Amino acid sequence: MKITMLGTGRAVVTECYNTCFVLRERDMPLRSDNLSDNDCISDKGICDNDIQSREKYFLVDGGSGGTILTQLKRASINWKDIKDIFVTHRHMDHILGILWMMRMICQAMKQGEYDGPVRIYAHDEVIDILNKTADMLLTKKETCFIGKEVRLIGVKDGEKKEIIGHKVTFFDIHSSKAKQFGFRIMLDDSSWLTCCGDEPCNETVEKYTADSKWLLHEAFCLAGDAERFRPYEKHHSTVKDACEKAEKLGVRNLLLYHTEDTDIHRRKERYRTEGKKYFSGCLVIPDDLETIDLSDSDTLFTEKGNIMGDQQRLEAFEKMLDNVRKEYDSIQRQMDDLKEQGKTKSATYRQLMGRKMTYQSMISMYEVYGLL
């Protein structure tokens, strides 16, 4: 699974977008014997709807407006491919972008250009706001899809769902401001990612956050800038606070977001410098549109949170080469099987051929540089 940060800023920012993100999971490739009549091969090659290695997306919050569409485009994510959405709470910098998504999806459904349904999860208060606001702002030709193909699904504290193929547990963070939910998503049978929304993780949700492989936590500003930004008046944390909490909880990887943006170009360096004084795991301060592989986090950074050293880079290259070889061999076996079945003109075979050439080129580059 990967995470793409569409935005990393607090409510009022101008140098980045408001905090929202997409969890991405590659879907299982289509089997050749499951292709539809539309998956034929023409003389011009494979049609767009024949692409097999699709991704499934889970959008969390939408920022403060239509810029959500711009950020998705910049991240090379087609908004029409998003089928699962979660809204943490009702604040403008989280919910308004979702209303834009609802508008675009309803319009696309009206034109027959969106393959529904879409599921939007949130607690009861947010669901009520989405329903009422959509009814006021959208046309009847658009709202007719809400409740049918656009499914607003209310979730309760501790409720479990399966989303993009993973088990998700929603929970109330017990905010002292607006009612807000976070969630925990299982990455595999023994590790999970936890999102606490945009308020400090408190002891009432530690059963979800403790021992997380990944914890997504807000960090409004540096501890040294607390007097200037006054995070506690807004029920937010400093980098120091978030890192101390993550260390206490036994978190392996901590991602900080929902920050101020006054020194955006030095934010990563400055936040990491403060944070590593209080957190011994992998500390990530992402920029907008940055994508992070959640499964291979231990190879991304050193224990000090800096770019990996020479030995770690060598180990990472060796791991990559091993994976490239395995993938190449797997593709070749699949192609051999299809050839025996007389399916060399199928969409699957052509797609596999393209992937084989890509991996073959990568192996050739290793050879050119004397790495094989």
Average pLDDT score over residue span 300-314: 50
pLDDT > 90: percent of the chain: 74
Would you state the pLDDT for residue 310? Answer: 55
Across 38-42, 175-179, 287-291, 352-356, least confident range: 38-42
**Side-chain-side CA neighbours of residue 134 (13 Å):** 29
Token digits for 158?
Answer: 């501790």
pLDDT tens by residue, 46-74? 444 444 448 999 999 999 999 999 999 99
Would you state the pLDDT for residue 85? Answer: 98
| 156-307 topology per CATH | Metallo-beta-lactamase; Chain A (3.60.15)
Alpha helices in the chain (DSSP H): 67-74, 92-110, 124-137, 140-143, 206-209, 226-229, 239-249, 267-275, 310-340, 347-368
Question: Is residue 33 very low, low, confident or very high in pLDDT (cuts 50, 70, 90)?
Answer: very low
Task: Round to whole Å and give the CA distance between 278 and 247.
Answer: 7
Average pLDDT score over residue span 32-49: 43
Average pLDDT score over residue span 368-372: 72
User: Under the phi-then-psi rule, with left for phi > 0, alpha for psi from -120 to 50, and beta for the rest, what region is 215?
Assistant: beta
Would you state the pLDDT for residue 296? Answer: 60
Average pLDDT over all residues of the chain: 89
Domain boundaries, the chain: 156-307, 311-368
Element (H, E) at 292: strand 291-293
Q: Is the pLDDT of residue 160 over 80?
A: yes
